[in-house]
A and B are shown apart, each in its own frame.
Chain A
């Protein structure tokens, strides 16, 4: 991303807009899947996820000229994504987990398990639903760290930069998040067993 750093050192002039747009295209294509994963796994309601992802890229575009290349592009975009998601939760009075507690989600799940569509698609949805249900048991700060570490596989120092905490605090939070995830998994399995009886 050297080119981005070089091209964005100054505010864009009309002549540099083409370059900026080219860089933005590049960033969008390389990052949209990551941003989608973060937004979705951090618990943004499915119906709002597209809006939130778009908002992330609007901010990326508008701040592209501020990106100095000191940070890795991925870290920089993730930081924006995490901020936008936090803002979303603050302004929408929704918290991670609303999806799981929404009316009828459990029934929804059961209905979908019986669906006759392609088995792989059913399995894919089920895997995601299980993961989201477990993540829903974590509070927002722990969930963010867990998603960044376990799903996006970022390093401690990268996560620390994104969530603006020191690495020790991040490590401690990740430890707690993993414990919370394991507990949620135990409860989930216990309920599954109970349901089979």
Chain B
């Protein structure tokens, strides 16, 4: 069979290890997989404590935000906020303490999910008693209450959608002002990085030049691993020749 020329072979060989996923990439991808599985109701576990929910919602909504930012996206990725479900399915054993089957959520989430409501941080006075009566799993399985809390991403999603619609309609200034106003009022949020990216894109479209260039460069420096960096580069390329 015809083989590749040495030059072609060198290109193939040379690029074989050039696209290596970092640990952060692997974890991010895995979180996405687990979230999808949880949303699909796979296995006996799903996301959903107040703490767990906030991360699950964040991940889901980040995905939606990616769609908002990026236009077309993979169909299965059109996820909605996960329906509140028990974080774990407790299997009560004969012992006094419940055992729980837990979806292997990322370590950060797992820690949050497994913080028992009867722990000292929750209520130190009840700790021992609650542990004995096996209330841990019951407490964990309570429906989330943080969805409307400070990390409620609905307003952020809304502003992202509106800004994107503005951009589609050629109203870059409106998109930019909308995002900046939101940032002034709300500051940090679950989707702050997505908002920053879209703000930079809107600015590049509205007022290409040194300021847009600087903002794009700043975003790329601050979020070197962001999946949005390619999009910022792409959108700001015309306005900011030095954007890297």
Contacts and interface: CB of A to CB of B under 8 A. Distances in A.
Interface of A: 12, 14, 17-18, 20-21, 24-25, 28-29, 32-33, 36-37, 40, 46-48, 50-55, 57-58, 61-62, 88, 91-92, 102-104, 107-108, 111-112, 115-117, 124-125, 127-128, 130-131, 134, 150-151, 171, 174-175, 178-179, 181-182, 185
8 contacts: A32-B30, A51-B77, A62-B40, A111-B243, A115-B244, A128-B15, A150-B4, A181-B4
B9 to A, nearest CB: 8
Interface in B24-67: 25-26, 28-30, 32-33, 36-37, 40, 42-45, 63, 66
A92 to B, nearest CB: 6
Nearest to A147: B12
Contacts of B63: 51
A36 B2 contact: no
Contacts of A47: 66, 70, 73, 227, 230-231
Contacts of A14: 44, 89, 91, 101
Contacts of B32: 50-51, 54
Contacts of B12: 131, 150-151
Interface stretch (B127-135, B137-145, B200-208, B234-242): B234-242
Interface of B: 1-5, 7-8, 11-12, 14-16, 18-21, 25-26, 28-30, 32-33, 36-37, 40, 42-45, 63, 66, 70, 72-77, 89, 91, 101, 103-104, 227, 230-231, 233-234, 237-238, 241-244
A174 B3 CA distance: 10
A53 B75 contact: no
Nearest to B14: A127
A33 B20 contact: yes
A53 B238 CA distance: 30
B237 A21 contact: no
A186 to B, nearest CB: 9
A21 B89 CA distance: 15
A185 B8 CA distance: 7
B1 A48 contact: no
Nearest to B101: A17
A171 B2 CA distance: 10
Given A134-B11, A171-B1, A58 B234 contact: no
